[in-house]
């Protein structure tokens, strides 16, 4: 099998070389270097996995690389230029990405392949949900104005979504660089197998856990994750709400839930000062719960990437946290 593949590959490479050698100028190659632009870290890491050894020597950019999350991101003129001149562009496509529309209007490349994660997921996209005890976001609304549906943008926190999206990325790369289509397809299926294996580990951990509810003394970007495993949840704030002050009612509701369900931990997301979580614990009867952190990957930096942080490494750490929280 392997032999046939390498013979085939040699044949394909031979043909490519002949075509390349017969083309007019060598300098054209630099102009045609594949430019791939991603907004957030998970997209970037998925692309790197599909590229593998990067046979086309593609240049990959992660726009949000300094710890500022997608809700607060303001593109620079340079960012807009990168988006408008690239070959493949990948973005989330929710409320926080409203700047993208204008950038794409400037697009110079008529053949640009664009992936909007929310569109790629179609019906799997969920609306933001307000569960019992959760503080909604105060919004200024004009009278008579129709309430807009707010989609939960944190789609990458579902491993099942990740499988679908890696396939979309593979399709996009195959379209943008047909010469290496076979390589991308092969890399994507190997990577998806890893994602699916981790998904199975999550299922097993949830099945073995003594609890089926997570309680967040924080914002709650993990709806896609809990829904994948039919976990219940309570949280202080919806999605990535800008609210930071929990009311007395919120604190006591969550503290009572901890007591009622006998949960071992209060969860927070990365970068939280844990004050709300501590206050909730102080208001329980036992006051002995742990504070644990799940990483939503919204503040992964270029430095973290250099240090070797990957989408799968974060999801593996999150699995360990989940096991603790469901004990
Ligand atoms: Zn968020």
25 Cα: distance to centroid of ligand 1 (angstroms): 47
Whether residue 66 sits in one domain with residue 172 = yes
Of the residues 160, 180, 208, which one is the last residue of a structural domain? 208
- Whole-number pLDDT of residue 31: 58
153 Cα: distance to centroid of ligand 1 (angstroms): 7
CA distances from 326 to 205, 235, 252 (A): 9, 16, 21
Asked whether residue 56 is assigned to any structural domain, the reply reads yes
Whether residue 215 sits in one domain with residue 194 = no
Nearest alpha carbon to residue 257 among 238, 237, 283, 218: 283
Average pLDDT over every residue of 52-79: 96
CATH number for the domain harbouring residue 113 = 3.40.50.1980
221 Cα: distance to centroid of ligand 1 (angstroms): 6
Whether residue 193 sits in one domain with residue 214 = no
d(CA 266, CA 274) in angstroms, rounded, equals 9
238 Cα: distance to centroid of ligand 1 (angstroms): 10
Higher pLDDT, 80 or 4: 80
Please give the model's pTM, rounded to 2 decimal places.
0.88
* Cβ atoms of residues 217 and 277 within 8 Å: yes
Over 90: is that where the pLDDT of 10 sits? no
Asked whether residue 25 is assigned to any structural domain, the reply reads no
Over 50: is that where the pLDDT of 22 sits? no
Whether residue 188 sits in one domain with residue 276 = no
User: Residue 112, Cβ neighbours under 10 Å: how many?
Assistant: 18
- Whole-number pLDDT of residue 145: 54
Whether residue 38 sits in one domain with residue 60 = yes
Whether residue 162 sits in one domain with residue 246 = no
pLDDT tens-place string over residues 141-189:
455 556 678 899 999 999 999 999 999 999 999 999 999 999 999 999 9
How far is C-alpha 123 from the geometric centre of its chain's CA atoms?
17
Asked whether residue 254 is assigned to any structural domain, the reply reads yes
Whether residue 104 sits in one domain with residue 62 = yes
Whether residue 159 sits in one domain with residue 196 = yes
Over 70: is that where the pLDDT of 4 sits? no
Average pLDDT, the chain: 89
Whether residue 203 sits in one domain with residue 54 = yes
Whether residue 194 sits in one domain with residue 63 = yes
Asked whether residue 175 is assigned to any structural domain, the reply reads yes
Whether residue 193 sits in one domain with residue 268 = no
304 Cα: distance to centroid of ligand 1 (angstroms): 19
Query: Residue 38 pairs with which residues in a beta bridge?
Result: 62, 90
Asked whether residue 174 is assigned to any structural domain, the reply reads yes
Asked whether residue 189 is assigned to any structural domain, the reply reads yes
Confidence of residue 138 (pLDDT cuts 50, 70, 90): low
38 Cα: distance to centroid of ligand 1 (angstroms): 17
299 Cα: distance to centroid of ligand 1 (angstroms): 10
Asked whether residue 240 is assigned to any structural domain, the reply reads yes
Residue 189 belongs to what domain range? Answer: 31-122+152-208
pLDDT tens-place string over residues 75-105:
999 999 999 999 999 999 999 999 999 899 8
276 Cα: distance to centroid of ligand 1 (angstroms): 18
Whether residue 166 sits in one domain with residue 53 = yes
Average pLDDT over every residue of 60-87: 95
Confidence of residue 128 (pLDDT cuts 50, 70, 90): confident
């Amino acid at each position: 099998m392997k032999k046939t593949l390498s013979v085939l590959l040699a044949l394909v490479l031979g043909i490519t070389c002949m075509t390349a050698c017969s083309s007019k100028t060598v300098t054209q190659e630099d102009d045609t270097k594949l430019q791939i632009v991603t907004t957030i870290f998970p997209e970037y890491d998925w692309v790197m996995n599909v590229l593998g050894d990067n046979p086309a020597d593609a240049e990959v950019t992660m726009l949000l690389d300094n710890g500022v999350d997608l809700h607060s991101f303001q593109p620079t003129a340079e960012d807009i230029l990168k988006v408008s001149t690239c070959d493949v562009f990948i973005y989330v496509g929710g409320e926080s990405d409203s700047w993208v529309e204008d950038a794409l209007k400037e697009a110079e490349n008529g053949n640009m392949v664009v992936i909007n994660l929310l569109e790629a997921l179609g019906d799997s996209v969920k609306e933001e949900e307000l569960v019992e005890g959760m503080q909604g976001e105060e919004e200024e609304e004009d009278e008579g104005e129709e309430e807009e549906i707010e989609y939960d943008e944190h789609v990458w926190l579902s491993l099942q979504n990740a499988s679908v999206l890696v396939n979309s990325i593979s399709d996009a790369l195959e379209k943008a660089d047909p010469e290496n289509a076979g390589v991308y397809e092969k890399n994507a299926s190997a990577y998806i197998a890893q994602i699916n294996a981790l998904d199975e580990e999550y299922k097993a951990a949830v099945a073995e856990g003594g609890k089926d509810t997570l309680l967040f003394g924080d914002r709650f970007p993990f709806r896609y994750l809990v829904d994948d495993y039919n976990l219940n949840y309570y949280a202080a704030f919806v999605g990535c709400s800008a609210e930071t002050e929990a009311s007395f009612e919120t604190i006591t509701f969550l503290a009572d839930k901890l007591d009622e369900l006998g949960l071992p931990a209060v969860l927070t997301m990365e970068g939280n000062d844990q004050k709300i979580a501590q206050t909730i614990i102080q208001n329980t009867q036992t006051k002995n719960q742990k504070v644990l952190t799940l990483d939503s990957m919204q503040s992964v930096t270029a430095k973290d990437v250099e240090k070797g942080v990957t989408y799968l490494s974060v999801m593996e750490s999150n699995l360990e946290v989940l096991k603790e929280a469901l004990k």
